[in-house]
Amino acid sequence: MKKQLLFKAMLALSAALILSVAWMVSQRSVKAAPPSESSITGTVKLEGTPPHQRPIDMSKEPACAAVHKANPVTTENVVVGTDGGLKNVVVYLSEGWSGPETAVSSTPNWEQHGCQYIPHVMGLDVNEHFKVINSDPTSHNIHPMPKPGGPNHEWNKSQPAGAPPIDTSWPAEEVAIHVKCNIHPWMSGYMVVVKGPYGVSDDSGSFKVDGVPPGNYTLTAWQETYGAQTQKVTVAAGKPATANFTFKAK
Amino acid sequence: MHDTSTHAVAHHGPPTSFIRKHIFSLDHKVIGKQYYGLGLAAVIIGMVLSWLMRIHLGWTNYAIPGLHLLSKNGAAGDIMTPDFYLQLMTMHATFMVFFVLTVAPFAAFGNFFLPIHVGAEDMPFPHFNMMSFWVTFVAFCVMLLSFFVGDGPTLGGWTQYAPLSAVGAVAGPGEGAGVVLWATSIAIFCVGQLLGTLNFIPNVLDLRAKGMSLWRLPLPTWAWFITSCMGLTAFSVLMPACIMLILDHVAGTSFFVASNLVINDQLQPHSGGSTLLWQHLFWFFGHPEVYIAIVPGMGIISHVLITNMRKPMLSHRVIVYSLVALAVLSYMVYGHHMFVSGMNPLSSLLFSFPTLLITIPSTILVLIWIGSLYGAKLRINAASLFALGFISMFVTGGVSGFFLAQPSIQILLHATYFVVAHFHFTMAIAAIFGIFSGTYFWFPKMWGRMMNETLGKVHFWCSFVGVYCIFMPMHYLGLAGNVRRYQAFVVDYMQPLVGVHRFITIAALFTGAAQLIFIYNFIHSRFWGKPAPANPWEGTSLEWSVPSPPPHDNFGGRHVVVYHDPYQYGVQSSTGDYVMQDSPEQVKSAHEEP
Amino acid sequence: MAKLFAVTIVVIAILSAIPIVRNTWHPMEDISTHGQAIDDQLSETMWEAGISFLASQIILAWFIWRFSGTKLGEKTKNFPGGAAGLVAAAFILVGLEVFALGIFGVKAWANIYFTQPAANAMPVQVQSGQFAFYFRYPGPDGKFGPLHPDLINEANQNIFGLDPDHDPESKDDIVTAEMAIPVNREVRLLMHAKDVSHSFYVPALRIHQDFVPGLDLQLHFTATKVGRYEIVCSQLCGLGHYNMRAYLSVLSQEDFDSWLKKQATLQ
C-alpha cells in the first residue's frame, strides 16, 4: 500500500518536473526569429518641395573630386527620391520594446569613400559594434559629436589611407550623433543609436524593421532636418505591420 | 668692480650620505653633471622623435614597426596619423630647445665650471641651485607625462600659437590636456632656470677670487653671465604667458581667444582676447631664448679654440662686447618672427632694422674667430674639430638669416623649410657642436677620465658631413616654397620635392646612428677611460689648476689668487708656451707683433 | 686631418652653392605686379649671402690648412690689422650692405602694404577655417551680405553664416571652394579666420599673409598671367594643416565671367 502511494507520488513529481522544465524551455528567448516575430514596413514621404541641396565642390581634394566627376554630389540633409520618398530616415521602436538592447549585431561599416560617409545615416543599437573604414587615398578624421556631458563620449581619431578599421560601439542611446570629418569640412553624417530593432529608409523612402514580436509599440521616425515623428503600431503574431510617415517640407 | 674673497659663500662640508652625494646634492659640480645627464636624456628623446618624423615625411603611409606602442590613437596599424606627426614634431622641438639647448651649454657646463672659473668654492645659494635642477627635472617629467594622458601631447608646435593652443580640446586631438601639461611644464621650467640665474649672476659679481677682475674672466664665464641676464628677463615673460594659456584652458578666461570663433559649427564661448598677444609675449621670450641657446656655445668654442690655437683671440674685449651687443639687440628683434603675422606692417619694418643690424656683432664674432686662426698653432682633436665646425655652421646659419631679416623676402620664405634650415644650422647644429666641443674638452675635468680621441674624431666626421647633408637641402626646399609643419606633401607643387625629403631622411638616419658612437664613447670613457691629469690640454684658466675631477670645495682649501689674464698663451714660461691664471710667475709674451 | 677638414669644408661649400647657381630649386615664376621688387631683393641678397658664405668658408678652410700642426719654435702671429681692422670691416662692409638691403626692402614691402587698393579693385572675400579656404563674391549687387557666425553650418554648406532670408544683400552672394580672378585686374582680398590662425600663401603671386582670428585684414594685388595656382595654408592650424589648400585660377575676363556665372548656379 505504502509502495503504491510512493510510486504515484514519484510519478506526479516527475510529471510536474517535466512539465515545469518544458514550460521554462518554452519561455527561453531565441536568436532565430520564432514564427511569432514579425516586421514593420512602410514608406516615409516628404510633402512639399524639398529644400535646395547645395552642390559640394571637393576641388581641395582632387582624388575625391575625381570620384564624383560624372555624378556631382550635393549636401544630403534632405534626400528625396522618386514619388517623394524620403531617404535616410531612421525608424525604431521608441516605446514597448522589452527585448535586449542590442537586438541587431550586423557590425555595419561606416565607410569614407569619395570624401563622403557611406551610409550618410546609420542606425545602430546600443553596444552594437561598427567598423569605420577609410577607402580613400587621403587621410580622414572621424569626429562623432554626441551630446556633451552625456553617457556617449566625443572622440576624434585620424585614419590615414591604409590604416586598419576602427572597431567601436556606443554605450548609450542617442538620437542622433552628428559625425564630421575635421579635414574635409563638407563631410557630414549621423549615427542614430537606439535600443532594439530599427530600419533606415532607402532611396524610395521604404523601410523595414525586422524582428518585432507581437505587441503594442510606439514607432519613431527621425530625419536629420525635420526631427522625429511618432506613431502607435500594433504588431500581431506572424503578420507584418505597416506604418507610413509623412514629413512636411517647411 | 672689486674683487671679493671666497668666504661669501656658505660653507658646507663634503656630503657623506649617498643621497646627499649623488641625488640631492648642494655641490654645483654634481648639479652640473645632473643637468648634463638630463640634457643627454632629452637629446636622445628629441633625436628619436626626429627620426620618426623624417621617416614619415619621406614615406608617408609606411607602417613603422612598433609605432603603435608610443600612442593610443596616433598609430593604429603602425601608420602615423597627421596629428601624431604634429605631436612628435612639437615634442621634438620642445625637448630640444628647452631641455637640451638651454640645459646643456648653460645649466650643465655653467653650473660645473662657473664657480671654478671665478675662483669660488661653490655658487652663492647652493640650496637654490639644487632646487633649480630638481624643479627642471620635474618640468621634464611633466612634459613626458603628456605622452600618456588623454589624446596625447599637444600638437601646436613649440610656439603654441593661440587660438589653436588656447581654445581647448574642441580644436582637435592634442589640444586638450596636452596643452595644459605643456604649459605647466614650461612654467615650471622657467622657475627652475630663474633659480639658476639667481646663482650665476651673483657668483660672477660677488664671488670672484682675489685678482680676478671682470676682464680676467674666461670667455665661457662671460657667456654664462650674459646668458643669465637674458634668462632672467626672458623666462620672466614666458612664465606668465604660460599661466595665462593654462587659465584660458581651465578657468574660462579669454586672454588669447577672440570673440565669435566657430569650431565644429559651434560658437565658442570666448570673447575679447587677442591672438597676437600670445605671439608678442612668446617671441619676446623666444628671440632671447635662441641667443640663450647659442651664446654659451660661443663662449665655449672660443675657450676651446684658444687653448688649441695656443694664442688668445685677436681681442678678448671685442668678443665680450659683441656678446653683450647680441644680448641687448636680441630684445629688439623679436618681431621678425611676426613679419606677416597681421601686426602693423610698419612694425615689421621697424623690427627688420635691428634684425639686420644684429648681423654686425655676429659678423664681428665670426671675423674674430677666423682672424684669430691666422698665425695660430692649431691642434686638431675632437674638441677643436667641433669648435671649428661650430664656426662653419654658424656662418651658414647666419647667412640664411640675411634673407629672413627682410620682410619683403619673408613673403616668399616665411614658414617654409628655409626657416627650418636657418634655425637648425644655428641651434641644432652650431649649438650642439658647441656642446660636443665642451664635452670632449671638459669630460676629463668633470669625470676624471679621458674620452677616446679616435672615436671622437669619427663622431665628428660623420656628424659634420651628415648635418650638412640633412640641412643644406632644406634651403632649396624653402626657396621652392615647401611649407613647414606639413606631415605629408599632397599639394601639387610640392610633389617634385619629395625626393629631396627622402635624401634628407636617409642622411638624418645615418647621422643619428653616428651619435651612438658618441654615446658609447661617453659611457665607456666614464667608467673605463684613461685617468685624466689635471691639465691635459695645457690650459690656463682655473679649472686646469685643480685635480680631475676637482675636490668638493674646488680648490682644496687653497685661497686662489689670480695674477694673469685668462689666455696667456704664446709666452715663455716654466710650463711651456702658457702660464696659468693663478701662477705668480712673471712672463714675457712670445707673441710676434704683426 | 686638418688638411682633410679644410678640403671638406671647401667641397661642402661649393656643392652647396651649385644648386643655387644652377637655379635647380627656385621660387615659382612671379605672376604679380608687385613681385619684381621682391625678386630683385632676393637676388641681391643671394649674391651677398653667397659671397659671404663662400668667402667665410674658404678662408676658414685656408686658415685651418695653413695654421694647424705644431712646429717647434714657431711663434704665433696676429692677423694684420688685428681686431680693429676686422671690426671696421664688419661695420663698413657688412653693416652698410645689410642696411642698404633694409632700405631697398622698404619699397618692396611698401608696395604691398602701404598703398591703397584702386577704387575699381574687384573685392573677393576669403574665410579660412579648419581645414579649407572658402571664397565669396558679392554678386551683381556688388555688396557682401552680413556674416552671422552663429549660423555657420558646414554640413549644410552655409560656410560663411549667411542669412539670405533676412539679409537681401546675401541673396546674390556667390560662395565657392576655388578662387578665380581675372588676369590684369586688381583684386581686393578681404580676409578673416573662422576658428584659429591660418595663413594665405600663394608663392607665384608673392603674397603671404597670416589670418588673425578677431581681425579683418585686407590685401590687394594683381595677377599678370593666366594659369592655375595653389593657395596653401602656412600657419599651423591643427591636424589637417597639410591638407589645407585651394586652387586659384587666373582667367581671362571672359572666362572669369562665365566661371562666376556657373558658380552662381551652384549656390
Long-range contacts, C99-102 (Cβ 8 Å, 24+):
C99/B353, C99/B356, C99/B357, C101/B356, C101/B402, C101/B406, C101/C41, C101/C44, C101/C45, C101/C48, C102/B352, C102/B353, C102/B356, C102/B405, C102/B406
The type of residue at C98 is V
Per-residue pLDDT of chain C (267 residues; tens, 9 = 90+): 999 999 999 999 999 999 999 999 999 999 999 999 999 999 999 999 999 999 999 999 999 999 987 665 677 888 888 899 999 988 888 888 887 888 888 999 999 999 999 999 999 999 999 999 999 999 999 999 999 999 999 989 999 999 999 999 999 999 999 999 999 999 999 999 999 999 999 999 999 999 999 999 999 999 999 999 999 999 999 999 999 999 999 999 999 999 999 999 998
On whether the CB atoms of residues B362 and B294 are closer than 8 A, the answer is no
Whether A185 and C246 lie within 8 Å, measured CB to CB:
no
**Helices (H) then strands (E): counts for chain C:** 5, 10
> Is residue B32 helix, strand or coil?
helix
Residues of chain A positioned with their CB less than 8 A from the CB of C267: 54
C144 in contact with A, Cβ within 8 Å: no
Interface contacts A/B by beta carbons within 8 Å: 46
- What order do you get walking across the sheet with C207-210 strand by strand? C179-182, C245-251, C227-232, C199-202, C207-210
**Which single residue is written with the C-alpha cell 659663500?**
B9
On whether the CB atoms of residues A210 and A125 are closer than 8 A, the answer is no
**CA-CA distances (angstroms) from residue B490 to A60, A139, A164, B81, B494?**
10, 11, 21, 14, 7
B175 in contact with C, Cβ within 8 Å: yes
C151 in contact with B, Cβ within 8 Å: no
Whether A157 and B173 lie within 8 Å, measured CB to CB:
yes
Q: Report the residue of chain B nearest A138, measured CA to CA.
A: B490
**CA-CA distances (angstroms) from residue B438 to A161, B42, B297, B366, B431?**
46, 18, 8, 19, 11
Whether B263 and C195 lie within 8 Å, measured CB to CB:
yes
Q: What angle do CA B93, B97, B102 make, to 5 degrees?
A: 165
Instruction: Give per-residue pLDDT as tens, B276-310.
Output: 999 999 999 999 999 999 999 999 999 999 999 99
Which has the minimum average pLDDT: B195-199, B269-273, C69-73? C69-73
Residues of chain A positioned with their CB less than 8 A from the CB of B61: 160-162
| Short-list C55, C30, C25, CA closest to C40 | C30
Residues of chain A positioned with their CB less than 8 A from the CB of C231: none
Average pLDDT over residues B369-395: 95
On whether the CB atoms of residues A110 and A122 are closer than 8 A, the answer is yes
Predicted confidence at residue A30, as pLDDT, reads: 47
> How many C-beta atoms lie closer than 10 Å to residue A160's C-beta?
26
C130 in contact with A, Cβ within 8 Å: yes
On whether the CB atoms of residues A228 and A221 are closer than 8 A, the answer is yes
Average pLDDT over residues B175-190: 95
Interface contacts B/C by beta carbons within 8 Å: 336
Average pLDDT over residues A3-9: 77
On whether the CB atoms of residues B259 and B271 are closer than 8 A, the answer is yes
Measure C30 CA to nearest chain B CA, in Å: 11
Average pLDDT over residues B21-30: 92
Residues of chain C positioned with their CB less than 8 A from the CB of B268: 195
- Which H/E stretch holds residue B193? helix B177-206
Measure C7 CA to nearest chain B CA, in Å: 12
pLDDT confidence band for B6 (50 / 70 / 90): very low
Whether B399 and C49 lie within 8 Å, measured CB to CB:
yes
Predicted confidence at residue A22, as pLDDT, reads: 65
Predicted confidence at residue A67, as pLDDT, reads: 95
Q: Is the pLDDT of residue B61 over 60?
A: yes
ipTM value greater than 0.85: yes
Predicted confidence at residue C70, as pLDDT, reads: 64
Provide the CATH number for the domain formed by A36-248 in this structure.
2.60.40.420
Predicted confidence at residue B594, as pLDDT, reads: 36
CATH topology of domain C122-265: Immunoglobulin-like (2.60.40)
C-alpha cell at B39: 640634457
Predicted confidence at residue B3, as pLDDT, reads: 46
Provide the CATH number for the domain formed by B24-589 in this structure.
1.20.210.10
Domain boundaries, chain C: 2-68+82-113, 122-265
Instruction: Give per-residue pLDDT as tens, A44-69.
Output: 999 999 998 999 999 999 999 999 99
Predicted confidence at residue A34, as pLDDT, reads: 54
Instruction: Give per-residue pLDDT as tens, B536-570.
Output: 999 999 999 999 999 999 999 899 999 999 999 98
Q: Provide the whole-model pTM.
A: 0.93
Instruction: Give per-residue pLDDT as tens, A147-197.
Output: 999 999 999 999 999 899 999 999 999 999 999 999 999 999 999 999 999
Predicted confidence at residue C27, as pLDDT, reads: 94
Q: Report the residue of chain C nearest B316, measured CA to CA.
A: C83
CA distance linking residue B297 with residue B290, whole number of Å: 11
Residues of chain A positioned with their CB less than 8 A from the CB of C239: 141, 158, 182-183
Predicted confidence at residue B572, as pLDDT, reads: 83
CA distance linking residue B397 with residue B424, whole number of Å: 8
Average pLDDT over residues A120-143: 95
A164 in contact with B, Cβ within 8 Å: yes
Q: Report the residue of chain C nearest B489, measured CA to CA.
A: C242
pLDDT confidence band for B593 (50 / 70 / 90): very low
CA distance linking residue B467 with residue B425, whole number of Å: 8
Which has the minimum average pLDDT: B275-284, B317-326, B434-443, B573-582? B573-582
Q: Report the residue of chain C nearest A188, measured CA to CA.
A: C155
C243 burial type by CB count under 10 A (0-12 exposed, 13-18 middle, 19+ buried): buried
Predicted confidence at residue B5, as pLDDT, reads: 47
Measure A171 CA to nearest chain C CA, in Å: 25
A138 in contact with C, Cβ within 8 Å: yes
Whether A57 and C156 lie within 8 Å, measured CB to CB:
no
Residues of chain A positioned with their CB less than 8 A from the CB of B63: 162
**Which single residue is written with the C-alpha cell 668667402?**
C55
Percent of chain B past pLDDT 70, that is, above it, reads 97
**Helices (H) then strands (E): counts for chain B:** 17, 5
Whether B77 and A183 lie within 8 Å, measured CB to CB:
no
CA distance linking residue B567 with residue B395, whole number of Å: 25
Average pLDDT over residues B171-176: 87
Whether B318 and C245 lie within 8 Å, measured CB to CB:
no
User: What is the DSSP secondary-structure string of C33-87?
Assistant: SSHHHHHHHHHHHHHHHHHHHHHHHHHHHHHHHHHBS--TTPPP---TTHHHHHH
On whether the CB atoms of residues C230 and B491 are closer than 8 A, the answer is yes
Mean residue pLDDT of chain B comes to: 93
**CA-CA distances (angstroms) from residue A59 to A90, A182, B16, B508, B557?**
32, 16, 72, 35, 77
Whether B371 and C86 lie within 8 Å, measured CB to CB:
yes
Whether C178 and A57 lie within 8 Å, measured CB to CB:
yes
On whether the CB atoms of residues B456 and B437 are closer than 8 A, the answer is no
Whether A188 and C154 lie within 8 Å, measured CB to CB:
yes
Query: Residue B242: CA atoms inside 13 Å, Cβ hemisphere, count?
Result: 23
Whether A59 and C131 lie within 8 Å, measured CB to CB:
no
Q: Is the pLDDT of residue A84 over 80?
A: yes
On whether the CB atoms of residues C20 and C50 are closer than 8 A, the answer is yes
Whether A183 and C155 lie within 8 Å, measured CB to CB:
no
List, as ranges, residues 163-192 from C with C-beta within 8 Å of B: none
B559 burial type by CB count under 10 A (0-12 exposed, 13-18 middle, 19+ buried): exposed
Q: Is the pLDDT of residue B331 over 90?
A: yes
- Which H/E stretch holds residue B211? none
On whether the CB atoms of residues C49 and B403 are closer than 8 A, the answer is yes
